[in-house]
Amino acid sequence: MSEPHFNRIALIGIGLIGSSLARVIRAKNLADTIAIATRSEATLKRAEALKLGDSYATSAAEAVRDADLVIVSVPVGASEAVAKEIAGALAPGAIVTDVGSTKASVITQMQPHMPKHVHFVPGHPIAGTEHSGPDAGFATLFAGRWCILTPPPDTDPEAVEKLTRFWEACGSHVDQMDPGHHDMVLAIVSHLPHLIAYNIVGTAEHLEAVSETEVIKYSASGFRDFTRLAASDPTMWRDVCLHNREAILEMLGRFTEDLHALQRAVRFGDGKMLFDLFTRTRDIRRNIIEAGQETAAPDFGRPHEGD
């Protein structure tokens, strides 16, 4: 199948995801022109200094004019404002997509504003790092990762197909899913892990008996693994929490219930329950490694001093 090619791709938002897209679009020659828009003058200047696109604007409407693909990569809470801003400038036949971590909310925010002459195909690439901003992106961010599309039922199959081939050209595998199911899946694989990571770092910060210096010095014994997720972009994650509330509350409830059972096993010295849980959980990591979603190297392949 031939690589998809666009005349003009508009990237609205140029953080980690947007700037990784700019780099892979250039590297794979997926568009003649890359138009970049972001509200922040400073970020726009930085994107220009990094030569991420062909044109730069603080107006999203200006960037999407004549674009045949528009990719919105902003915190999910800003989706409606962007939809309103670009609606009147979208070209007939344009594909409009996004990369937001919650899908039902993004659809509620954007779809009412989309003109009939465009194809709105919401999406979510399951890829990222804890770094943010236009400098953090890289062309291989999406390679080997999954991208989930959640097209409304009446979407033109050709538009979905073309966007699918776009993500495949970026190196991704593509799935389709109902938006509600997407939000439930992401609540357990992404949103709950981030919340828990943020939470334990907060707990560690407020101890009277253990100093922050001690937490830092001895963090290699486990704690530091959590700090990567807890270093993620605060605006993005605030918005995820506000826009996937029901699914997150459901997963938090289950997690806490299970944690209480575990706490009870610790309190009453139920070694069998502990051993059984600690044995079962090994399998999932092995399966994740076999699925190509994780490295088998110990310690994530972190460098060791003296290696």
CB of 297 to a copy of itself, least distance (A): 8
DSSP letters of 251-263? HHHHHHHHHHHHH
303 in contact with a copy of itself (CB under 8 A): yes
116 in contact with a copy of itself (CB under 8 A): no
- Judged by CB under 8 A, the number of residues near a copy of itself is 118
Which residues ranging from 133 to 172 are in contact with a copy of itself (CB under 8 A)?
136, 138-141, 143-146, 148, 171
3 in contact with a copy of itself (CB under 8 A): no
Which residues ranging from 80 to 109 are in contact with a copy of itself (CB under 8 A)?
101
Helix axes of 271-290 and 245-267: crossing angle, nearest 10 degrees: 140
Cβ closest to a copy of itself, residue 38 vs residue 190: 190
CB of 184 to a copy of itself, least distance (A): 5
Q: Is 138 helix (H, G, I), strand (E, B) or coil?
A: coil
176 in contact with a copy of itself (CB under 8 A): no
Nearest Cα to 229, choosing from 200, 188, 249? 200
Q: Is the dihedral of CA 278, 281, 285, 286 positive or negative?
A: positive
Cα–Cα distance for residue pair 239/100, rounded to 1 Å: 10
Contact 136, 15 (CB under 8 A): yes
Cβ closest to a copy of itself, residue 59 vs residue 211: 211
Nearest Cα to 204, choosing from 227, 182, 185, 188? 227
Q: Which stretch binds a copy of itself (CB under 8 A): 4-12, 60-68, 79-87, 264-272?
A: 264-272
Beta strand 123-125 with 146-149 is: antiparallel
Q: Which stretch binds a copy of itself (CB under 8 A): 29-37, 90-98, 114-122, 265-273?
A: 265-273
219-248 mask for a copy of itself (x: CB under 8 A)? xxxxxxxxxxxxxx-xx-xx--xx--x--x
